[in-house]
Amino acid sequence: MFINFSLHLQKEFSSLAASKISNFRSKISEWIRILVSLATDHQFDKVLEDPMNHVTKLLISTSPEICNLDTQHLESINERFICKKNLLIQRLFPMTSIYGFINLTDRNLYFQEICGSGVAKVHRAKLISIRKVRKRRYELANGAIEIEAATQSFYFNFKDPADRNDFYNALVKHVGPNCLTEKTLNQVTELWKNRMMSNFDYLLNINYIAQRSLNDFTQYPVMPWLLINYKDKELDLEDPANYR
């Protein structure tokens, strides 16, 4: 009886492995077919411009189920979506980028990475923890947004600027009262004048308001060059000769 049970299990595992191999082969064949069609349709230059975008489209075309946010990642079943669901966007880093889907509820922001391994990584940021929300440019197009939360920051690029604007308008309505947005220049200036913000933080915030970001090397923050004395170990701040 034990031998029969073992043979049954072996047969089940063999059939399961065969189905996975068959599924994998079919996906590879579909990818090759799409890549060949791109090359023969004289669109290969477009693939080279943004290869990650086309790889992402291949993943979506072969596994459309990855487009949906798994409800197990939600903080609560009572969360209400307040913007267009499952928007395909690009998350930007200083030296690279990844594609994924963004979702916004009345409590949290969710970004779900797209990967070929089948294990989707989902990043979540509570809306009450968001400290800065700013519209941004990317490659000279006004379709990006930068979000800074308590422990993480996001720089997202939307293919459609209208989707970016809708997302921004929905987000700023649900963040905390101390969150800095596009309209908070006077607030930042008042904090600095009342010595509640350092010179460095004030200049950094001015850079942020001027569309500069630590997440994009092409728009990196700039600081005024004030000093000319970099030789002395101790600097006399009262000596005009130490300044430009």
Q: Which two tokens stand for residue 236?
A: 């006399």
Strand partners, 146: 134, 155
Q: What is the 3-state secondary structure (H, E, C) of 10-56?
A: HHHHHHHHHHHHHHHHHHHHHHHHHHHHHHHCCCHHHHHHCHHHHHH
Q: Which helix H or strand E contains 9, and what residues bound it?
A: helix 2-40
- Return the higher-pLDDT residue of 171 and 2: 171
Strand partners, 135: 145
Amino acid at 44: F
Q: How far apart are the C-alpha atoms of 137 and 158, rounded to whole Å?
A: 10
Whether residue 15 is predicted with pLDDT greater than 70 in this model: the reply is no
- List all residues 6 or more positions away from 147 whose beta carbon is below 8 Å from its beta carbon: 109, 125, 130, 132, 133, 153, 154, 155, 156, 171
Q: For residue 73, how many C-alpha atoms fall within 13 Å in the half-sphere facing its CB?
A: 21
Residue 85 — left, alpha, or beta (φ > 0 → left; ψ -120 to 50 → alpha)?
Answer: beta
Tell me the pTM.
0.65
Class of domain 65-181: mainly beta
What burial class does residue 169 get, using C-beta atoms within 10 Å of its C-beta: 0-12 exposed, 13-18 middle, 19+ buried?
Answer: exposed
Confidence of residue 162 (pLDDT cuts 50, 70, 90): very high
39 and 55 in contact (C-beta within 8 Å)?
A: no
Of the ranges 37-46, 62-71, 181-190, which one carries the lowest mean pLDDT score?
37-46
**pLDDT number for residue 72:** 76
If you average pLDDT over residues 221-234, what whole number do you get?
Answer: 87
Percentage, residues of the chain above pLDDT 90: 23
Whether residue 2 is predicted with pLDDT greater than 80 in this model: the reply is no
Helices 51-62 and 2-40: angle between axes, nearest 10 degrees: 140
If you average pLDDT over residues 136-165, what whole number do you get?
Answer: 90
CA 50 to chain centre: 17
> By C-alpha distance, which of 162, 156, 126 is closest to 216?
156
Q: Which two tokens stand for residue 240?
A: 């005009």
CA distance readout (Å), 217 to 64, 148, 155, 205: 34, 17, 12, 17
Q: How far apart are the C-alpha atoms of 130 and 176, rounded to whole Å?
A: 7
If you average pLDDT over residues 162-189, what whole number do you get?
Answer: 87
